[in-house]
Amino acid sequence: MDADSYAEMYRPGTGDLIDERYELTESLGKGGMAHVWRAREASAGREVAVKFLRHDSEALYALDPHERAAELAVRHARFRREATLLGTLDHPGITALYGSGSHRGVPYIAMRLVTGVSLRTFLDEHTPLPPATAIAVAVQVAGALACAHTLPVVHRDLKPPNIMIDDEGAAVLIDFGIAKPLRADATRYTAHGSTLGTRGYLAPEQLLEREPTARTDVYCFGCVFYELLTGRPPFPLGADAGLTERHLYEEPLPPSLYAAGIPEAIDDLVIRMLAKQPGRRPPVDEVLEVLAPLGPQPGDPEPRPRTHPDPTAPLRRPADRTPCAFRAPCEPPATASAAGEEEWLDARAVELLCTRAESEIAAGESGEATGRLRELAERARGEWGERRPLVRRVWRGAADGLRLAGDFGSAARLYQGIDDGLLHGDGPAERAERAVVRLRLAECRLAFGELETAVATVDAAGHTAAGLPRELAIQVESVRHEVDVQLSARFADTNDRGGPGT
């Protein structure tokens, strides 16, 4: 179909029945890319949101026919990708996908209807927020973002209008329209010279049209969190001149200079989230780890002044919500331990399980044994402490299994845990193991597009190997070579594509 034919295509209207399934009841609004409707799903008896790709926006009609056709093709591809991503993201803070398809030539996505207000509206009505309320929103957004980053997927357009506060106070991350998987083979849909995102919430690398990473979302999230805490973004939009330069070069002031009651730990976290270099920003897992203890806890009193909705309610009264609503991001449910129902772990049984897992890993597989180690990791550390070598062996097996299974986010957390707390001493064996663990962590981070970190880790491992006995050096160099090959492939892919993409 040529581009001009889109002008004659279907436009949704009240009462329309979409694919004999969704009856449109009310327009909820439209932007340049999509039009969202409230609808009733007859078979399930529930209200849903149906999002249609727009083909009639002014921006499209401003293009010549050839450009319009190309842009429409890109929009269709992005829309299909959004549906695919929503189908893989299972978290209460992300809109659930109910279905997708095409109705009379127009693509649509049906998803959970979030009733409430956008964070933009919420801030406009309630600024300044009590610190507890600001942190409550941030904790919930961080959980949703951590789920996306585990895949890994980067949202790329975090801003107050793309966060909803539902009627019960839960924060929900919406609009994955320009989200991007960070796999090396992910299709890119924007040519060099295009910058995606929203002014005032763009990371420096987005402004410079460089490859996005998970830390790109952390910067945008930092801008949103700053506004939650202070009622203003770190670099306000008032004066257009110099806004880009401020995001690129100016250091933000601590939020506590603009609002009272902000703990020093929050000041430090926000400033690190807004670091100009992506590698200096904390991963979202660390953001969540810092925020969770500082936010509202079960049984806490309602903050003053009151807000409606109340974003602290899901954290203060988790029992009032569905049982799974605030589970750990993208974590599988707990299952029975490998050691059965015994009161204490059997060290011999765990050693045998490690041996089986290591055989699976040597064969390049992630099987039952590595999965059982994952279930045992925290329990083993809790029972045996952080210095017992068998604990480290359990964590290594679990991390290696997750890495082979492609769950790079979960594997990275375990490798980081080994490096931070389970590796002790500075003998040759410890230095070799530390180098290998850091290389595997860098390999996981490659999936998130963090090339510079991987380069530094590969170089550091080379220096470490040079000072080790031959047998240990060979072990480090073997893993170092694996990671270096992947790193070279990522650089070659970036160069072949001619720069940034989406």
DSSP count for the chain of H helices, then E strands: 17, 11
Q: What is the rounded distance in angstroms from the CA atom of residue 367 to the CA atom of residue 405? A: 9
Cα dihedral 275/280/229/135 (nearest 10): 160
Sequence letter at residue 8: E
Sequence letter at residue 64: D
Sequence letter at residue 496: D
Strand partners of residue 107: 102
Those residues with Cβ within 8 angstroms of residue 203's Cβ, 6 or more apart along the chain or in another chain = 197, 212, 215, 216, 219, 220, 247, 278
Peptide bond into 309 cis (omega under 30): yes
Q: Report which DSSP code applies to 234.
A: S
Q: Is 276 annotated as a binding residue?
A: no
Length of the chain: 502
Find the radius of gyration of the CA atoms of the chain: 24
Q: Which of 64, 157, 420, 426 is catalytic?
A: 157
Q: What is the rounded distance in angstroms from the CA atom of residue 143 to the CA atom of residue 9? A: 40
Task: Note if 157 is an active site residue.
Answer: yes
DSSP codes, 112-170:
E---EEEHHHHHHHHPSPPHHHHHHHHHHHHHHHHHHHHTTEE----SGGGEEEETTS-
What are the tokens at 369? 């044994």
Catalytic residues: 157
Q: Which residues are annotated as a binding site for ATP?
A: 51
Annotated binding site: 51
